Amino acid sequence: MSASASGDGRIVSAAGDGRGASTTGDGLAASATDDGRIAPAGDGRAVPAGPPSSPHGGLRGPVSASAHRVGAVARRHWHVLRRSPHRFFDVLVWPVVDTLLYGSIGLFAAQAADAAGARSTGTAVAVFLLSGTVLWHLVHQTQISLATGFLEETWSRNLLGLLATPLRGWEYLAGIGLFALVRTALSTLAVAALAFAAYTFDVTTLGVGLLPVAALLLACGWAVALAVVGLVLRYGSGAEALAWGALSVVMPLSGVFYPVSTLPGVLRPVAEVLPTTHAFAAGRALASGQGMPWRELGLAAGGTAVLLVLALVFLGRMLAAFRRRGLVTRYS
């Protein structure tokens, strides 16, 4: 009598009469029926034979298998976050600290302007600071979540295991991007809730124009994160600091809380090239009660598309060099 392991990890032994006997995960004996099902002894239930796949039996199709792998990557990172409470520091604590800091500065400016007889100016400053804080954490949390999600694979020495699986590159990026959306949503909700509770600022007053602005900032965060992942693949752990520091350079040049016209003249051309500059300018226009800033949104959309393409090409080249040079041994 021979024995073999089925696709779902059960041990199946072939008996001489052509029927199989197996042991299920709960230790019950099972036998194969004539129609190819495994019938556990004792409870009369039957389960499909063969490798695990769709709930209805049989192998998953290509689309279903890809969706399953994308979901598995997202769940893997969610479980890491859920079981490590200290990881919520980046998700909730820093956003709350930023909201308190810039909200209090804005409130002080509004009170000082009111005392000087320029109430509208102070109110505008407070609104710009609070709306900028909410929008900044959209791009910041997206970039941090995607970049540190990949770094988690290097810290846990799981990178070689990923390369040995049928997981495609775009499936991994989609899964970790899905996780980044969840993490960004938690952070942004915390910022928006505190801004409303402490400073009576309702971000929904920006209107439907907030949706394209938010989408563009999310895409910018993804693009920066992809570039950071490429640098980590190529240069190793020495480039990990960019996961937290890359956007620190972009923030002052993007005019998060102020128009770029206030920057030194030599930096203004650089700021105008960044798509984040036009996205934040659109956010300020909405916060000040203007109409839909189509020009700024168009410039931001075009710049974001170019940035995403460049980031993907750069990541592809770095991944090819990573494989060609055998740099995976750094993490094995």
User: Could you report the per-residue pLDDT of 92-105, keeping only the tens digit for each?
Assistant: 888 899 899 988 98
Q: From CA 332, how far away is CA 265, in angstroms rounded? A: 48
Q: Of the candidates 233, 228, 227, 267, which has an alpha carbon nearest to the alpha carbon of residue 251?
A: 267
Quote the pTM value: 0.76
Q: Are 77 and 152 in contact (CB under 8 A)?
A: yes
Q: From CA 30, how far away is CA 249, in angstroms rounded? A: 62
Position 305 pLDDT exceeds 90: yes
Q: From CA 28, how far away is CA 45, in angstroms rounded? A: 12
Amino acid at 23: T
Q: From CA 329, how far away is CA 139, in angstroms rounded? A: 32
Backbone angles phi, psi at 42, to 5 degrees: 105, -40
Position 127 pLDDT exceeds 60: yes
Q: What is the pLDDT of residue 63?
A: 84
Position 190 pLDDT exceeds 70: yes
Q: From CA 79, how far away is CA 83, in angstroms rounded? A: 6
Predicted confidence band of residue 263 (pLDDT cuts 50, 70, 90)? very high
DSSP for 119-131?
Answer: HHHHHHHHHHHHH
Q: Are 247 and 223 in contact (CB under 8 A)?
A: no
Q: Of the candidates 213, 211, 221, 220, which has an alpha carbon nearest to the alpha carbon of residue 306?
A: 220
pLDDT tens per residue, range 66-123: 889 999 999 998 988 888 888 888 888 888 998 999 889 888 888 887 777 776 777 7
pLDDT tens per residue, range 210-255: 999 999 999 999 999 999 999 999 888 888 888 888 888 899 999 9
Beta bridge pairs of residue 4: 12
Q: Are 60 and 68 in contact (CB under 8 A)?
A: yes
